[in-house]
Structure 1
């Protein structure tokens, strides 16, 4: 499964599984990236906001130096942070410098809003009352126009979005001269976001799933269908939750800094129709009962158009 790829609307091949680096503690990311590449991962997902791209870059450099991979063998993803949504190229340049790369394979809009670029913090500017310092007059379509310009520079091979709802995609697409290659969203059986997945499939936008285990501590490990399927196949619940995305035709990001778990996360399986029915029935039940679980939703105070949050 480590070698499985999907073809993007750009013609690029994107790996089916990647290493996520969000919330990876300082001092541990460098080794995690190296171990992942050594184990067979070929996609590394990072972002300026994570404040650890320097270490990711060190891990990449270590792997290049050791001859484990060449630059052209791997797929590196970064994201423009919300304080740079009116300065997209600058945001990309900062990430490239940290990563020690000339280009990334995919550059994404991290969230469709603008936090004050002249605020009191480079990443998380706040107002005197403690709320996020957001420029509410900003139109996310303007950020996408800058993304399209950055694509022409060759500093990224493709562009896409993160955390885009159906509503926001429908606002963006009529104005886009380049269709996003990817929409990276929180995705798992407790948050299938089928309306987004279906629209993206229709438009040729590939889904990349983050937080596939739910969140820290793997809250979905105890979900009844996940336990049942893991027992049936003799695998851990994490394997079931990661394999779910391959059956859906999505790329999945597995985040860990533990070498054993990083390697373990590559051991995915083919879920059968009965397995998927159990998981889909579970999703449908949560949807009907209004009990969908979204684990990642920063306190921006913005309605992004997700049905479970609107």
Structure 2
């Protein structure tokens, strides 16, 4: 299987992004090269990392060893909270990420959290504009921004993020933020797309019934639900067989009723930190 099956989402800056990728959140730095190499061999071409994950170097080594042409890959990394600030501070952090990745540019650079207590995300966003203009990142976006953070960011700078990467899974779909993003033409990326194992998602009847109907696993059903809802999604696994299963989601399609049933599971069931409380 290859990434040719993976649809691309058109971004508001005129570029596009593969809708299915591979995330390395909480992947052991010592195991990252092997795990990412497995993902690339399976067919993933969209990789999502971050400075705070501590594994940019491993991602970079896997990319270098793969022999895959750079233009066939889509690489995202993120600015950590401590590095928010003026242009010089942001530039230094960005340069360090590029060095660790061993790349000349990334496809997408994100502000990892709004950290409203620091109140530096607007200033940081202006520095991101400069990075984009330098072409060392093709697109710029944010992560964990709620509607009110986005509204302020756009209102004070006039520059709309290409994406917002947020916690999103059947129990926590963030309808207010998703609706504002859609209104502004911001693509939604779903992190924790399978709920991080923090509730019995794969035992819920709406999910298991669809899995039985299509002869696939509950995890494949949920990933397919994300894709059909228009989310960009990158499930994470350390196991090669699970990575392959997560990538094998293009041979079936959920019915409208199945999509609606899973969407109906929304219950504001956040499983991670609230963006207004992270500093």
- Conservation of the 8 A alpha-carbon contact between 1:85 and 1:113: no
- Conservation of the 8 A alpha-carbon contact between 2:108 and 2:140: yes
How far does residue 191 in structure 1 lie from its aligned partner after superposition? 0.4
What is the TM-score when the length of structure 2 is the normalising length? 0.92
- Conservation of the 8 A alpha-carbon contact between 1:213 and 1:219: no
Distance 1:45 1:137, change over 3 A: closer
Q: Distance in 1 between matches of 2:278 and 2:24?
A: 26
How far does residue 217 in structure 1 lie from its aligned partner after superposition? 6.5
Please name the residue that 2:38 is paired with.
Answer: 35
Please name the residue that 1:138 is paired with.
Answer: 119
List per-residue Cα deviations over 1:171-206 (Å, max 9, x = no partner).
111122321000000111100111111111111110
* 1:221 counterpart SS class: helix
* 1:293 counterpart SS class: coil
Please name the residue that 1:294 is paired with.
Answer: 270
Q: Distance in 2 between matches of 1:195 and 1:301?
A: 15
1:253 aligns with 2:229: no
Please name the residue that 2:81 is paired with.
Answer: 82
- Conservation of the 8 A alpha-carbon contact between 2:114 and 2:276: no
Please name the residue that 1:53 is paired with.
Answer: 56
* 1:257 counterpart SS class: coil
Write the mapping of 1:274-289 to structure 2, written as runs, cut at 5 A: 274-283=257-266, 286=267
1:219 aligns with 2:194: no
How far does residue 301 in structure 1 lie from its aligned partner after superposition? 7.3
1:23 aligns with 2:16: no
* 1:161 counterpart SS class: strand
Please name the residue that 1:129 is paired with.
Answer: none
Q: Distance in 1 between matches of 2:228 and 2:276?
A: 34
* 1:102 counterpart SS class: coil
Q: Distance in 2 between matches of 1:101 and 1:42?
A: 15
More divergent stretch after superposition (273-282 vs 48-57): 273-282
Distance 1:218 1:22, change over 3 A: farther
Please name the residue that 1:199 is paired with.
Answer: 180
Query: 2:108 pairs with 100, 103, 106, which one?
Result: 106
How far does residue 221 in structure 1 lie from its aligned partner after superposition? 1.4
Distance 1:106 1:303, change over 3 A: closer
Please name the residue that 1:13 is paired with.
Answer: 16
Distance 1:111 1:255, change over 3 A: same
- Tell me, which stretches of 5 or more residues in structure 1 are unaligned? 115-135, 287-291, 305-310
What is the TM-score when the length of structure 1 is the normalising length? 0.83
How far does residue 241 in structure 1 lie from its aligned partner after superposition? 1.1
1:169 aligns with 2:145: no
CA RMSD of aligned residues (A): 1.9
Q: Distance in 2 between matches of 1:94 and 1:220?
A: 38
How far does residue 34 in structure 1 lie from its aligned partner after superposition? 1.3
* 1:255 counterpart SS class: coil
- Tell me, which stretches of 5 or more residues in structure 2 are unaligned? none
- Conservation of the 8 A alpha-carbon contact between 1:162 and 1:184: yes
List per-residue Cα deviations over 1:2-40 (Å, max 9, x = no partner).
421111112212101000000012322111211211211
Select the structure of larger CA radius of gyration.
1
Please name the residue that 2:93 is paired with.
Answer: 91
How far does residue 141 in structure 1 lie from its aligned partner after superposition? 1.1
Q: Distance in 2 between matches of 1:197 and 1:249?
A: 11
Task: Name whichever structure is richer in helix by fraction.
Answer: 2
